[in-house]
Amino acid sequence: MTKTKKAFTPLAIVALGVVFGDIGTSPLYALQAVFGSSGRNLTLNQGNVYGIISLIIWAITIVVSIKFVGLIMRADNEGEGGIMALVSLIKGKVIKHKWFFITLGLVGVSLFYGDSIITPAISVLSAVEGLKVVAPHLNSFIVPITIAILVFLFWIQKYGTDAIGRFFGPTMLVWFAAIAAGGTWRIWQYPSVLRTLSPITAIDFFADHPLTAFLSLTAVVLAITGAEALYADLGHFGRPPITKAWFFIVFPALSLCYMGEGALILHHPGVSNNVLVQLFPTSLRLVFVLLATLATLIASQAVISGAFSLTRQAVHLEFLPRMLVRHTSISETGQIYMPFINFLLFILVLLLVLVFGSSARLANAYGIAVSGTIAADTILFLVVVRNIWRKSLFYTVLVGAIFVPIDLLFVSSNMQKLLHGGLFPIIVGSVTFLLINTWTKGEKIIDAERRTIEGPLPKFIQTLHSSSHPIRRLPGAAVYIGHHPDFVPLALRATVEDLHELPEKVVIITVQTTTAAHVPVAKRAIIDNLGDDRDGVSHLMLFYGYHDSVNIPKVLRFLMGSNPELDFNLDDVTYFISSSKVIPSRRHSMARWRKSLYYLMAKGALSRSDYYKLPIKQTEEMQTPITL
């Protein structure tokens, strides 16, 4: 056995605990949404039940197995996944109507945050509600127990996905074995349910009852929740472990479970609520409720870690303000923790539990965000297939003709939920998109204003020789952090024009985030002495991927041995940061309330010195008023 194969199995088990929790616990509430007491209350006959079970199995097969695992997960950006990876791939290429596709991607990103909030609430609630089956007198404690579990879930995020996955992975393995066993037992009792494996069953259901089948897609989509989270978590583990865990463990277990649930509902109509718990004998139900509670806690982990990954990508691609990112693994750069995002999700999830109070009511809020994000993934993937992979038009149209109509069916069917809780993810997505759009527009204005003040760098270098005021050169070295390679850092201009002095050795550093996920350290830097070694002024361009951690002192230390421009003691150097003090004004075509919103976002952003990991005692920060 090779070293790769030896290392695969543990990583696949860990992936079970982080990646598949969301989609793996969907059987807790998917069928309840259509057959339960608060669902559509369809007639419990063989045609309806088997038709919907077949729709679920083939939705999982087509959307998750074929589209996401088989195709979309190949569209990674140097190992990183998620809809933001597709956006970054498109952003880095010359593509017709690129702005439209980037905007569509950002809409999908915004909807994913709605999914990240609903999933923990509905998953944990649906599991704890199983107590009503084994201990009805505990019904009034369901919400408090749910809240306590959620507090624990968000508290442990700081320990990282690796630590969480090592604990949760084996638990999810037990979970999938349990639901597969429960489903197999019911299939053995009622083997006629095996006909749902045939796509003919789903097609006949749609042909015989088109309206019923269309409306039932709101429940079917619940069975594929977690597909985007699965893709977003690609950077945590890589494609091979996720793919094998899906096809060998998760997909078979889910198929067996849904067939078992369908057989049980058809032959025992009274179990349409909490049907998954009732797959098992009475003596095992309490144990299963405890296992389900653990599994749903894990389910929430998939979207939370996905939200962390997505947010970091958005920050590095300058769609959102700088935020604190903590790396929780030495070996895996994709395993991170973002305190602000974790706290925000925690507050919103708790509010959701308190407002809706039950998984049945929350199911109405679910689906819109999931189907919208999946549809955006499909369209962006087609753009990648045609413009980056350079596949033929015939191939692109063929792939689109298979998947786009399915996505449109899911999106349109979920529109009926708008007045029954479905507005919540739309509101969350709209607010998120507003924040992204406000930040990007405000940054564009501020950047243009800053360049006007800074002035061109080549012209500034010339003034060092022709200035009417002699410039006194001081012993020592200074590093000035700029915003753009062609313009003068404001702190450097102030040093020369106001103080008429300059250290003997000056390094201007500009950091650029590329649309690649990672940039190797050996290819990270380009040094330019700006045309005259006598000036002692050089420019260092640093390139980082959107999933790299920016650490300027670390890369300087790496470069020092082989670059004469960096022949100074790094422990004695002074870093100068030029930051903008935003002042809202009547200038520029931006609403005043959006200027105020941008101002608040800028004020709350992580400082540039912290973002670049600069030593506090060696850093000076200069603020320049810039009107917005």
Decide the pairing of beta strands 619-627 and 574-583: parallel
Rounded to whole angstroms, how far apart are CA atoms 74 and 378? Answer: 13
Q: So what's the pLDDT on residue 465?
A: 67
**Secondary structure class of 184 (helix, strand, coil):** helix
Give this prediction's pTM.
0.84
Rounded to whole angstroms, how far apart are CA atoms 80 and 453? Answer: 37
Higher-pLDDT residue of 159, 505: 505
Question: What contacts 24+ positions apart, CB below 8 Å, involve 267-270?
Answer: 267/189, 267/190, 269/44
Higher-pLDDT residue of 185, 592: 185
Per-residue tokens: 424: 């919540």
Question: pLDDT tier at 124 (50, 70, 90 boundaries)?
Answer: confident
Q: How big is the chain by its Cα radius of gyration, in Å? A: 28
Q: What are phi and psi of 360, to 5 degrees?
A: -65, -45
pLDDT, tens digit, 9 for 90 and up, residues 406-436 = 999 999 998 888 777 778 888 888 999 999 9
**Secondary structure class of 23 (helix, strand, coil):** helix
**CB 86, CB 382: distance < 8 Å:** no
Domains of the chain listed by start with CATH number: 3-421 (1.20.1740.10), 456-587+607-627 (no CATH)
126-131-133-137 Cα dihedral, nearest 10 degrees: -130
Q: So what's the pLDDT on residue 348?
A: 92
Least-confidence region, from 42-56, 154-168, 282-296, 307-321: 154-168
Mean pLDDT, residues 236-260 taken together:
91
DSSP 374-403: HHHHHHHHHHHHHHTS---HHHHHHHHHHH
pLDDT, tens digit, 9 for 90 and up, residues 566-582 = 888 888 899 999 888 88
Rounded to whole angstroms, how far apart are CA atoms 371 and 25? Answer: 18
Mean pLDDT, residues 503-521 taken together:
86
Rounded to whole angstroms, how far apart are CA atoms 64 and 70? Answer: 8
Q: So what's the pLDDT on residue 207?
A: 92
Question: pLDDT tier at 1 (50, 70, 90 boundaries)?
Answer: very low
Place of tokens 């750069």: 333
pLDDT, tens digit, 9 for 90 and up, residues 55-96 = 999 999 999 999 999 999 998 887 778 888 888 888 878 788
pLDDT, averaged across the chain: 85
DSSP 435-502: HHHHHHHHHHHHHHHHHHHH-BHHHHHHHHHH-SSPPEEEEEEEEEEES-TTB--HHHHHHHHHH-EE
Rounded to whole angstroms, how far apart are CA atoms 136 and 567? Answer: 74
Q: So what's the pLDDT on residue 531?
A: 61
Least-confidence region, from 124-128, 288-292, 587-591: 587-591
* Res. 491: pLDDT tops 80: yes
Higher-pLDDT residue of 393, 562: 393
Closest CA to 110 of 433, 440, 436, 434: 433
Rounded to whole angstroms, how far apart are CA atoms 266 and 251? Answer: 23
Q: So what's the pLDDT on residue 521?
A: 81
Q: So what's the pLDDT on residue 7?
A: 44
